[in-house]
Amino acid sequence: MNNLIFRKTKSVCPKCLEPIDACLIEKDSCIFLHKSCNSHGDFDVLLSRTPQKYKELDQFYFAISDNKAIVPEYELWPTYRCNIDCAICCFGGQNHEMQYSEPTCADIEKFISGHSQKFYIISGGEPTCRNDLTEIIKTLKKHGKAVTINTNGLKLTDIQYLKELADAGLDRVNLQFDGFNRQSYKELRRKDYLDTKLEVIENLRSMNIQTTFNATIAKNLNEEAISELIDFAAKNDFINGVNFFTICFLGHARDWADEQYIMPDEIIDILEKQTKNTVKKQNVYIFQKLHLAIKALLNQKWCFYNQSYLFIREKGCYSTIDKFLNFELSEPWLNRYAKAYKNNRVLSLFYLSVAIFSLFFKLRSVLIIKELLIRSISYFFKTNKYLKGSKFFSVSFSTGCDPYKFDESIVQNCQNEIIAPSEKTEKLVNIGSDGLYSMSLERRHLNNNPSGNRTNNN
């Protein structure tokens, strides 16, 4: 193979799921995850079309990552049930077979009493399928937890029900919202839910409940939603974030066309083009270095497949954080920090301090410094202040692990750990990282359907 290898890792064969060696290579001015299975041949998974930037960020990430760091928040799965049947569901119908006893509020309280994590996302399955969701929220709040729910929102058309959740102490709603294109709902969710989603958004707005959009992006389907949702968030201050997720070849989506495959890095490329360079990929990468450095300082895990950026509302529009902070001056110090991190922690902390101080060598920084400090302190001390409305809203570009893009070196730093009933004991336990659990679901599917995996290479 006459291509430049710049990192070796482990992965799995997308067809048989057997562990295999893998490497990141540069070829044709792109970055690929390359792997070869003795039984099923070669696989090249496109990761990035900007090789130099990607390699630099990859090297920065692994220079400071620590797989022994803590997970800052837990995903609590009180149910595997769901009230819709998405065409991209990672379970692929397997959740209907998972008829475990669902944890009671007492079970949940027993678990959280023994764990210090401050932030909980109630997910699953669809959490609103639990008739006692308000009691679950109250149980978490009783122990001082910040509570978010991941939901498709169908039950939130009932504003009285939404009020009950808010009164129970709900801090934030992560709403599945794939944009304003009706066809995208028909293909992603098997039904046009747009009117329902818009009704839910109005309910959330009327109650000023902090909301983050979880949008799945499929290539050649709903790419226009990327800039549209950011524009919408800028005009609505109850929205504190937009999370863009890419299609994963898991569950129902394992047989989707290769042409709809996309990675987070390419979503950033699309956004850069859609905004005519208002959002610049180079600045997103610098911000990601800063974000990763802060995560390392807090001893918290963070997945490389999850990148983020910060936007500031200004008169119904938005500006990007680089308009207020001096990224150009800060980046060299961030690079020095990463190089020194594992050999000289004291020196690396000095470099990080200079990098942060350098950010404010820009006149416009005075316009955001107060709010930026308040929210940084809130996050550092694990209060829920940072979840509340502000001039800021975040945008993330993410994907989950599937048999194609699974990278063992990255999954060791997964920031998502799932709390759910054990398949063996049905007790509420930490069943591990999101990435590893996805692989276990695929192995379960392969065992039940030996010929059911995809047949095309990426």
Per-domain residue ranges of the chain? 4-66+405-448
Structure letter (DSSP) for residue 300: B
pLDDT along the chain (458 residues), means of 10: 86 95 97 97 97 98 94 93 92 65 93 93 95 98 96 98 98 98 97 98 98 97 97 96 94 85 96 97 98 95 96 92 97 98 97 97 90 74 66 94 95 93 82 88 76 46
Share of the chain above pLDDT 90, in %: 77
Q: So what's the pLDDT on residue 135?
A: 98
Q: So what's the pLDDT on residue 374?
A: 78
Tens digit of each residue's pLDDT (9 = 90 or more) over 84-134: 999 998 887 655 556 678 999 999 999 999 998 999 999 989 999 999 999
Q: Determine the Cα–Cα distance for residues 363 and 365; give it in Å rounded to an integer.
A: 5
Q: Taking all residues of the chain, what is their mean pLDDT, rounded to a whole number?
A: 92
pTM of the model: 0.93
Residue position matching structure tokens 């859609």: 274
Residue type at 3 in one-letter notation: N
Residues whose CB is less than 8 angstroms from the CB of residue 192 and which lie 6 or more positions away in sequence, other chains included: 182, 185, 186
Residues whose CB is less than 8 angstroms from the CB of residue 424 and which lie 6 or more positions away in sequence, other chains included: none
Q: Where in 152-224 does DSSP place strands (E)?
A: 172-176, 210-217
Q: So what's the pLDDT on residue 454?
A: 47
Residues whose CB is less than 8 angstroms from the CB of residue 167 and which lie 6 or more positions away in sequence, other chains included: 134
175 closest CA partner among 105, 258, 265, 242: 242
